[in-house]
Amino acid sequence: MTVYLDHAATTPMHPRAVAAMVEQLARTGNPSSLHGAGRTARRVVEESRESLGAALGARPSEVVLTAGGTEADNLAIKGLAWARRARDPRRRRVLVSAVEHHAVLDPAVWLAEHEGFEVVLLPVDRDGRLEVDALAEELAAHGGQAALISVMWANNEIGTVQPLDEVVSLAGRHGVPVHADAVQAVGQLEVDFTASGLDAMTVSGHKVGGPVGVGALVARRGLDLTPVLHGGGQERAVRSGTVDVASARAIAVAVEDAVTHRATHAERLAGLRDALVAGVRDGVPEAVL
């Protein structure tokens, strides 16, 4: 029997998300069309957006649907950096923690290599936790040059939860927008966008029982974001492209389910983890946790 354990890489789809997606795939309609089929599709997208907003503590209008976490991270890093510098040319420093996923690190490095920005890698301790003092020192010295800060909510490899409250509070004193990649936090921790004080937050469908290839950037109302994809002006004109109705519906079902059952899921997982650790320790006494 194969036991699949790598839910940090991708999760099995939730049967309700599969059912919603399959049902929607059999329907036709571009949510941007003005005729009946389009309006019906638009309603499904807007209901999905409402449900995502409710599950994530955000207003529906703050949910920008994307084709996955990587795209949402790119939109956050490039979109915030460009928009911030356009307003104030001194703001060229892009601050990211040293343990970000490549979907954050690589766009930051790309901005430095191609767009005249500077990347500042914020150090972490031996548990992968952000050194908040180092961020405070960076902001004290160069706060007026910071374009954005991106620190992930929870780490995809070792699970470290970052001190976002402290990051948000420090950033606020220097007028710097904060983005968090919450791809690994949703369904594991309480994620409330409004309460977090974040300006932008990334989520992804396939880490919570939804499909691969759909995600969202939750972006505070009024946040200046320069689009990465140009075209038909969908999604508040920051993410052009026909909205994938079936995926929107499926991610909404999956996120709602993951958030609703988070506590029982966590309890079950903790039990499984403890049993696994105990089993390994019994069989391999020299194993290091």
Ligand X SMILES: Cc1ncc(COP(=O)(O)O)c(C=O)c1O
Q: How many CB atoms neighbour CB 36 within 10 A? A: 9
| Interacting residue with ligand X among 51, 97, 204, 234 (CB under 6 A) | 204
Residue 210 in the binding site for ligand X (CB under 6 A): no
Cβ distance to ligand X smaller for residue 84 or 206: 206
CB of 10 to ligand X, least distance (A): 8
Q: What are phi and psi of 243, to 5 degrees?
A: -70, 135
Its sign, for the CA torsion 14, 19, 20, 25, is positive
Residue 162 in the binding site for ligand X (CB under 6 A): no
Residue 218 in the binding site for ligand X (CB under 6 A): no
* Total residues interacting with ligand X, rule: CB under 6 A: 14
**Residue 157 has which token pair?**
């490899």
Cβ distance to ligand X smaller for residue 42 or 179: 179
Closest CA to 56 of 265, 244, 258, 206: 258
* Residue 255 CB contacts under 8 Å (≥ 6 apart), including other chains: 51, 52, 55, 56, 186, 187, 203, 205, 208, 210
Stretch that binds ligand X, among 65-73, 134-142, 250-258, 271-279 (CB under 6 A): 65-73
Q: List the beta bridge partners of residue 178.
A: 149
Judge residue 145's burial from the number of C-beta atoms within 10 Å of its C-beta, 0-12 exposed, 13-18 middle, 19 or more buried: buried
Closest CA to 71 of 107, 118, 96, 115: 107
Residue 101 in the binding site for ligand X (CB under 6 A): yes
Residue 211 in the binding site for ligand X (CB under 6 A): no
Cβ distance to ligand X smaller for residue 73 or 257: 73
Report the DSSP pairing between strands 63-66 and 93-97: unpaired
Closest CA to 128 of 94, 157, 171: 157
Cβ distance to ligand X smaller for residue 70 or 145: 70
Binding flags for ligand X, 169-198, as an x/- string (CB under 6 A): ------------x-xx--------------
CB of 157 to ligand X, least distance (A): 8
Binding flags for ligand X, 68-97, as an x/- string (CB under 6 A): xxx--x------------------------
For residue 114, the number of C-alpha atoms closer than 13 Å in the C-beta half-sphere is 9
CB of 259 to ligand X, least distance (A): 18
Interface contacts to ligand X, rule CB under 6 A: 68-70, 73, 101, 103, 152, 156, 181, 183-184, 204, 206, 215
